[in-house]
Amino acid sequence: MNTLTGKNVIVGISGSIAAYKACEIVRLLVKEGANVDCIMTQNACNFIRPLTLETLSRNKVHIEMFEQKKVWNIEHIGLAQKADLFLIAPATADTISRLAAGRSSDLLTSTALSTTAKIIICPAMNTNMYNHKATQKNIEALKSYGYEFISPESGELACGQVGDGRLCAPSAIVSHVKKCLS
């Protein structure tokens, strides 16, 4: 039985090398029966192509705040209202910072600030960025707002450093989503 049948999950993908792991997250969510809509930042599009996520999710990928629409819909509000859960994986230091400050400067942050659904953030970044006092302060601020975090793993990072900052395994992220929506 698919445990997420009938559930709407928004997956936000920000511009991290770990964006490629979002493909596996989306695939696993769809396999569990979820309807998945993806929101990509412009920087995420430098790491993976929207077509990949459209194919895996079977839905249009949303990128631009003000793209021309065939039907009337304020996109960030429509997506925010549709969500049973909003997952941001990977979440960069910049995305976390903008959310903590309440800045809605792109479709991903505007939708996150507009939703009443549970928000789960999965950080992925260089160890020094993750451990920086400003990033940790922003994470604590978001936790105080009710955002939930899945901590990054420790290991070898794309930059060659070893330490905290690697996106949690896609299977563990999806298991957490299933638990939250059950």
Contact status, residue 17 vs residue 47, Cβ threshold 8 Å? yes
Is 159 known to be catalytic? Answer: yes
Contact status, residue 172 vs residue 150, Cβ threshold 8 Å? yes
| Whole-angstrom distance, CA of residue 112 vs CA of residue 145 | 12
| Whole-angstrom distance, CA of residue 165 vs CA of residue 35 | 28
| Whole-angstrom distance, CA of residue 176 vs CA of residue 178 | 5
- Residue 155 is which amino acid? G
* Residue 167, both tokens: 């996106």
Catalytic residue among 45, 122, 159, 168: 159
Backbone angles phi and psi of 150, in degrees to 5 = -110, 110
* Residue 162, both tokens: 């070893």
Kindly list the catalytic residues: 159
